[in-house]
Structure 1
Amino acid sequence: MNHQLLIAEFLATPWALMPERLNTVTAVMARWSRNVPADLEVLAGIHVDRAVREARRQAATAVSSGGIAVLPLYGVVTQRGNMVDDVSGPGSVSTQQFASALRQALADDTVSQILIDIDSPGGSVYGVSELSDEIASARAQKPVVAIANSLAASAAYWIGCSAGEFYVSPGGEVGSIGVWQAHFDHSQALAAEGVTPTLISAGKYKVEGNPYAPLDEEAQGFMQSRVDDYYASFTKAVARGRGVPIAQVRDGMGQGRVLGADAALAQNMVDGVATFEDVIRKVRRDMKSMTGSKASRLAQAQRKLAMVGAAG
């Protein structure tokens, strides 16, 4: 793994991620920049976290039966899968892989309803808008329900609010509606070590925002414009999913903070507070109701045909 490339990716990416996670990410970036490997304690934690995540995914798969497909969305959201393998915590989830699982569920005739089980602090903005649109379109084919179990923050909230119904567990949190991008100025640290980088480039702005010099006003303005563009897409998707004006999303709904279950419900950020098991039971009831309604309509149509035949 090329950690320098990952550091560059981190610096270049706008994030829809809980800012509280920045401290953890920064510590990892600092370790990578010094080429210091993860210690045994960190590696042990990674192993435990990975085992927990896998067990939870298997449990979700076990629930996927009787016409319900449970799609797990756990960990930091990325576009193309897990970028790192030595960070303890929630792991990562790929928007591309999740979209593929969603399409499979839509194409499966044995699946009547889709439940998105979310536990994520958010992540990269890349691929999130596309996945959000795909979920919104999927609702025209099959009912799609989502639950924050127990966290749907930032990019994960962006994805979750695109479902037809969105719930949060009683001890859960949702929100962190916002986008940010980091710039690390290593110039003084390098100077203290007697290192003077020289960047050879072509293109006026090619090395704009590099970490070897302080961020100038023009570069900061451009970075802000990128963040603003993604924030506009984020708030538009939330407004669409929750059926509210964009101004209500921007001026309320935590304004970048995560909110607990009751506060989120009061702000119309979710449709209800329920446990994962509660939502499963509700989805099964809705499915039975849909099946009963379909059977009733079929019986009614058959009666009409019989009456027409008798009259003929």
Structure 2
Amino acid sequence: MKYAHILMAVAAEYWAIDEAKFDQIVAFLALQASGDKYSAEEVQARINRQAERDVARREGSVAVLPFRGVLGNRMSMMGDISGGTSYESFGRTFDSALNDNDVKAIILDTESPGGVVNGVDELSQKIFAARGRKPIIAHVNAYAASAAYWTVTAADEVVLNPSAEVGSIGVMQVHDDVSAALEKAGIKRTLLSVGKYKGEGAPFQPLSDDAREHRMRIAQHYYDSFVGRVASNRGVSVKTVTDSFGQGRMVTAADAVSRGMADRIATLDETIARFAGPAPVKSSRAFARERERRALDF
């Protein structure tokens, strides 16, 4: 794989992701680009462990769908190695469970730092549009950051493990200026382009003020979409999301429930038992009680 090219592609994306995980991704790609690579056996071992852990399954009449790792519209071998989920692929798995008459409820088993912006709003809308057909529960075990939270707020209910965290609402992009490194290596690269702004984000030259402002406008557009979708999904105002939903920080379980970012605290086994067992526990919220009534009707 051309890891140096992948590194530049990563820099070109707009991300809704936890900053620490993003730093790990960039560091991993930089390591690969420098020549320190996994062997075929190491790659296969990592893929196998991920496959064993992240398989959609049935618990009685409940479909449990893993929504884990770095999120992207389409995932490559890099996604397999690091652990990731494709928005498109997950959407197809979700549709399959939704259309299965033997499935009474759907649980999104979530553990993700977020991912790229492209594709996330489409999946969030898909899940939101399915409300009412059967209960859809997002169970966060143990974190849903950024694009992951953007997605799972579309579920009927967001349930958190006692030690879970949610939030990291924000959008970012990185530009690596490698011009000094090229100069040190004795390389002088010249960009030939047609079009006023074509090539303005090239990594071998500093980012101009115009390019910076343009990228910030795009980031602001995605951020506004993020906040607007979460507000709609959670049934609150945009101001509530911007002021009270962490402002880019992660929020612990009890705090998240008190702020309206999530609905309750429970373990995954308890969440499954509510819908797989004969007598679901009643919710303290009116709309949650209505979801449980619908579950019993299936």
User: Are 1:155 and 2:142 counterparts?
Assistant: no
The letter for the 2-side match of 1:17 is I
In 2, Cα distance between the equivalents of 1:106 and 1:65? 15
The letter for the 1-side match of 2:26 is T
In 2, Cα distance between the equivalents of 1:143 and 1:193? 59
In structure 2, the residue matched to 1:11 is: 11
Return the offset for 1:127. 0.4
Given that residues 43 and 86 in structure 1 are in contact (C-alpha distance below 8 angstroms), is that contact kept between their aligned partners in structure 2? no
In structure 2, the residue matched to 1:29 is: 29
The letter for the 2-side match of 1:137 is A
Bigger relative contact order, structure 1 or 2 (CA pairs below 8 A, ≥6 apart):
2
Larger radius of gyration: 1
Which of the numbers 63, 71, 81 marks the counterpart of 2:65? Answer: 71
Which of the numbers 132, 142, 158 marks the counterpart of 2:134? Answer: 142
Return the offset for 1:289. 5.1
Given that residues 82 and 94 in structure 1 are in contact (C-alpha distance below 8 angstroms), is that contact kept between their aligned partners in structure 2? no
In 2, Cα distance between the equivalents of 1:189 and 1:136? 47
User: Are 1:53 and 2:45 counterparts?
Assistant: no
Deviation by residue 1:96-148 (Cα, 9 ceiling, x = unmatched): 00000111112111112111110100000110000000000011322111011
In structure 1, the residue matched to 2:173 is: 181
In structure 1, the residue matched to 2:37 is: 38
User: Are 1:193 and 2:185 counterparts?
Assistant: yes
User: Are 1:97 and 2:89 counterparts?
Assistant: yes
Given that residues 144 and 166 in structure 2 are in contact (C-alpha distance below 8 angstroms), is that contact kept between their aligned partners in structure 1? yes
Relative distance call for 1:136 and 1:48 in structure 2 (3 A) is same
Return the offset for 1:43. 7.3
The letter for the 2-side match of 1:55 is E
Task: Count residues in correspondence.
Answer: 286
Return the offset for 1:48. 5.7
In 2, Cα distance between the equivalents of 1:18 and 1:67? 34
Superposed CA RMSD: 2.2
Return the offset for 1:37. 3.0
User: Are 1:245 and 2:245 counterparts?
Assistant: no
Deviation by residue 1:255-294 (Cα, 9 ceiling, x = unmatched): 0011111121121110011110011112234598547668
In structure 2, the residue matched to 1:308 is: none
In 2, Cα distance between the equivalents of 1:32 and 1:225? 32
In 2, Cα distance between the equivalents of 1:291 and 1:265? 23
The letter for the 1-side match of 2:5 is L
Q: Following TM superposition, where does structure 1 have runs of at least 4 consecutive aligned residues deviating by more than 4 angstroms?
A: 46-49, 286-294
The letter for the 2-side match of 1:158 is W
Gaps of at least 5 residues in structure 2 are 281-290
Given that residues 15 and 171 in structure 2 are in contact (C-alpha distance below 8 angstroms), is that contact kept between their aligned partners in structure 1? yes
Given that residues 2 and 33 in structure 2 are in contact (C-alpha distance below 8 angstroms), is that contact kept between their aligned partners in structure 1? no
Relative distance call for 1:208 and 1:129 in structure 2 (3 A) is same
Given that residues 165 and 252 in structure 2 are in contact (C-alpha distance below 8 angstroms), is that contact kept between their aligned partners in structure 1? yes
The letter for the 2-side match of 1:37 is D
The letter for the 1-side match of 2:161 is S
The letter for the 2-side match of 1:138 is A
Q: TM-score, normalised by structure 1?
A: 0.85
Return the offset for 1:245. 0.4
In structure 2, the residue matched to 1:255 is: 247
Gaps of at least 5 residues in structure 1 are 295-312
Q: Secondary structure at the match of 2:186?
A: coil
In 2, Cα distance between the equivalents of 1:288 and 1:249? 27
Deviation by residue 1:65-100 (Cα, 9 ceiling, x = unmatched): 43211111111001012351685x4x1100000000
Return the offset for 1:56. 2.4
In 1, Cα distance between the equivalents of 2:182 and 2:139? 46
